[in-house]
Chains A and B, each alone.
Chain A
Amino acid sequence: MASFKPTRIQVYPKLGEKVTQDTLYWKNYKAPVQIKEFGAITSIDFSPLAPHTYAVTASTRVHIYGPFSQEPVKTFTRFKDTAYSGRFRSDGQLLVAGCEDSAVRLFDVSGRVAIRMFKGHTKAVHVADFTSHGYQILTGSDDYTCKLWDIPNSAELTSYKEHTDYIRCGITSKLNRDLFFTGSYDHTLKLFDARVDKSVMNMDHGQPVESLLLYPSEGLLVSAGGRYVKVWDLLKGGQPLVSLKNHHKTVTSLCLGSNGQRLLSASLDRHVKVYSTTNYKVVHNFDYAASILSLGLAPDDESIVVGMTNGILSIKHKRTPEDSKGAVQQKRQPAYRIFVKGKNYVPKQEDYLVSKPVRQYLAKYDKLLRKFNVSKALDEAMEQWTRLRKSEIPMAVIKELDRRGTLKNALAGRDEKELCQLLSFVIMNLVDTRFTATLTTMAEMLLDIYQSTVGMSSLVDRQLLRLQELLDKETEYQQELMEVLGMLDVLFASAHPRKEVTLPGRDVCLCSIVVHLPILPCGYL
């Protein structure tokens, strides 16, 4: 006697992203903390020392936030105009910031008033950074110059005027005190050596450069500008290594994560993308509410801080094991010990093992199907659907009933509420191509059976109207798709050199279509 074969639930290939290690890693963050700043957040910089506070530059202020604080632990407000590029020194004691009023201010992190002020630029200073030994400051300005300043006597050391447009980004080498890079809106990146009076390396990015990033080893330089992120090999004299085009708007900020294993880029298109630095493929993607201007990642990826154009600072903290543990403990059944009773007994050598016959566990709808209770089985499957929102289960049962030729029996004799549920299921899943064929039959049967009751219940009528609306929409949509398909066919046909001779009549027809075809915009597809 063969046992009952349970209904096979069709496993459909998962649509959308695949779950990889990376998605698991980058999804393991808590819900973001959002803080409203006074204006667009242009810069985020983490202190290199624990407890890794971070400076957020927005409007005329620089706020310093603690790692878990929701409010700024320190605020620098002595700016006459919009502040830019608040950066910590490598010891975390000093902070430098540029300003729209062309002055560069140096703050003691514990103080309040600027301890030095560097004046010499004629236009807004968007770039300010400490050199590696910490005694000099690099600045870049909209007056096309970049300068090195000495901190102790606040004097200008050198000035380079090589760029032909605004300098909007710059970075100093952490290994060599004399080297620094600047990127400008004239599409170029330049490497300067403080010991010589002109740039020593020149790279063409192709778009206005918005952000620069050096690898810890300083063999590779990453630049962002336009929609592109480019990686340059410095050891090969500034040869381009990769060009990434994964954003559809300007990339504004770059940052390294996971100890240099991952590269993050933020863009005005509201996305943060995570790349693997081994093959430069996108491994994860974050969505944000507004265009992103600045991005910061705490050491060990403890938190992701994103500043947006609407002045909202979004902070995501990593989920700690303790958080998840708490959730599990809540779920645990109190009678767990009873379930495992005797199951963890390890047989001794002299024990004679009597294997129990394997009991076949059937789902409730399968048990009902085995007894040919078709209506009840459908009810049960529908209940599972409402509980779990797994359309596969009722679909499999409906298919099984259809195969048995008893679907009509199962659908008949329903009251208003049940009928509404069935109809809502049809409406929700009808346009899913995987289910369309079966649900069409089911919808036809429903209409056949309940034709006479139309107009007797407002609930059912509303559902039927919804169904009609859906079908109208769907046919329209399909029609549009067919049109696009036709256009594409024609485009492909004209793109390929024709080898075989087709019927002359058809040829003429094709030509006339080609003539009248409007040029498709790229975004259309």
Chain B
Amino acid sequence: MLGFLKHPVVVTADINLNVVALTAMGLLSRLWQLSYPRAVVFDEVYYGQYISFYMKRIFFLDGSGPPFGHMLLALGGYLGGFDGNFLWNRIGAEYSSNVPVWSLRLLPALTGALSVPMAYQILSELGFSHCAAMGAALLMLIENALITQSRLMLLESVLIFFNLLAVLSYLKFSNSQKQRPFSPSWWFWLTLTGVACSCAVGVKYVGVFTYLLVLAVAGVHAWHLIGDRSLSNVSVLCHLLARAAALLVVPAAMYLLFFYVHLSLVYRSGPHDQIMSSAFQASLEGGLARITQGQPLEVAYGSQVTLKNVFGKPAPCWLHSHQSTYPMIYENGRGSSHQQQVTCYPFKDVNNWWIVKDPGRHQLVVSNPPRPVRHGDVVQLVHGMTTRFLNTHDVAAPLSPHSQEVSCYIDYNISMPPQNLWRLDIVNRDSDAGVWKTILSEVRLVHVNTSAVLKLSGAHLPDWGFRQLEVVGEKLSRGYHESTVWNVEEHRYGKSQEQKEREVELHSPTQMDVHRNLSFLARFLELQWRMLTAKSDGSEHKYSSSPLDWVTLDTSIAYWLHPRTSAQIHLLGNVVIWASASLATVVYALLFFWYLLRRRRKICDLPEDSWLRWVLAGALCAGGWAVNYVPFFLMEKTLFLYHYLPALTFQILLLPVVLQHISDHLCRTQLLRSLFSALLVAWYSCACHVFNTLRPLTYGDKSLSPSELKALRWKDSWDILIRKY
């Protein structure tokens, strides 16, 4: 630290000036007219609703990414005093005056602006010249797609920022490793690497690829460290432990922290409750908690319960029955038992109530003291409103003919005896004498006569079944599946002897008070699991594209169109940069393999240190491009051009690396070198020109005439919107 003071100030000031200038330009390009357009632009409609949820503290579930990114956006809303009252339903809708557009868009814009000087720093940390570093930053500065993406309430620029921060701090760390390990700055950069990685993962799941890349590079470096015989065993161990703590433990803890903050911020029940388990819902304020507050915990004989299916797909639903019977003959000619239908119904209804009955006794009320039902007990389930018994028998189910029909038994006197005994199997019991608990216990109902298991088949019944979900008895139960598991959601001890009284009782809300809460870890695990398994509707989108279109920029996304003029915002990249960056990647790969093969034959074209620099730059930049791009080929979700931007950023970083290498090592004469520099200047002005031409589409500030717009349509696949007058 003190060494810093001894150095001449001029040197540091010089670097700072570069960075300051770049930062200023970055800020200018990203923040200029930030609150324009005052309308919902493209995916703001998507992220905006979550910001509103945060502002109103309402619980939500979003399968697209962990909550950190949403929270950062919401922070902008919080600082701007947003109250969350805006209906996010249409792209292009004008913002009302209570929406602080500037502060909502500020954070993505800031991160986008800071990426520019960070590109500079990464290249100088990689050991390349100031020229190359400036080049990288200037390319980032005039990349239209990055600008567009940073100026809106979107998360890509935040993700890119944390990706770059992770790489930069790892480089700073590994450079200080050579001089002063275990110094404060060493610790700082090491920890910052871990923190940045976890932030990147916390913004979007795809951040995990950059994290893995950093881990891999750190792993290789650690392996060299192990091989370093000049270090003692103890110091090697310390090095390894420090890395493990900063790169594994810190990110995991941070990730948990995001969820902790998220769950403590959104504590009210909301529209997404239904997807979560009953226990989770009960931990939110309002909603189910209000209903279930004060329910008796232990289910006893005579209890009135609603049974929710744990799997809840295609829809969360409760075991249900009603007066209608199965049709005598189905459309395909098969027969049924013609008994009362049993279904699974996705809405709360008085017909969802069932009474747990002891087969040995006749009364339907809870005795005093209540006799709890335990694992392995045989029970009957009586439908509350019709007092019929839950029954299954060897009749094919309506839609799943391999399973048994489940019905409420009606005695038609046709030698079809009732088979209404069910054995209770508590899946998550503590002991074999475990008591059936409200909400907490997950139970399977196993039919005594046929050992069929009560199961939600997931099929929708036709009109005669009111399009409710089919419930069947699964004969050959192939192991544990959540669709065969049920839990008691609402529960009360029944008191009414007579059917009329009981019906009144069923209609009345439950009461009494026992408070129970789920631990944070259980809530985190459930939320994370549901987020990962939440089905994104894989519907096609007008602007969706395949990864192959991205490299050649064969696709574009119309973000916003002015309601009257033809001013519009369009996600379009700087064609010159995209093309040359892809070219640079190819050149890098070819040169790399060429050198690698020559080195294997002991022909070293490059001095050792410049070879190492070349490899490290390639591993981080070309590797960063590959890990952020290739996995998209395996993904089944709807993909858009903006998914490519993190990969593109790394590609842009690689571009000056390759250029400097060509100029230093392949241009052998001074003349060639000057020629090359001249070419570079021409090329860069070309990129600037493209940036300037596309600028109206990037900022959306200028209305172009149809002919101008047509002239901008350089590729047939660009869907630039042209108004017809």
**A and B are interacting partners:** no
**Which residues of B line the A interface, CB within 8 A?**
none
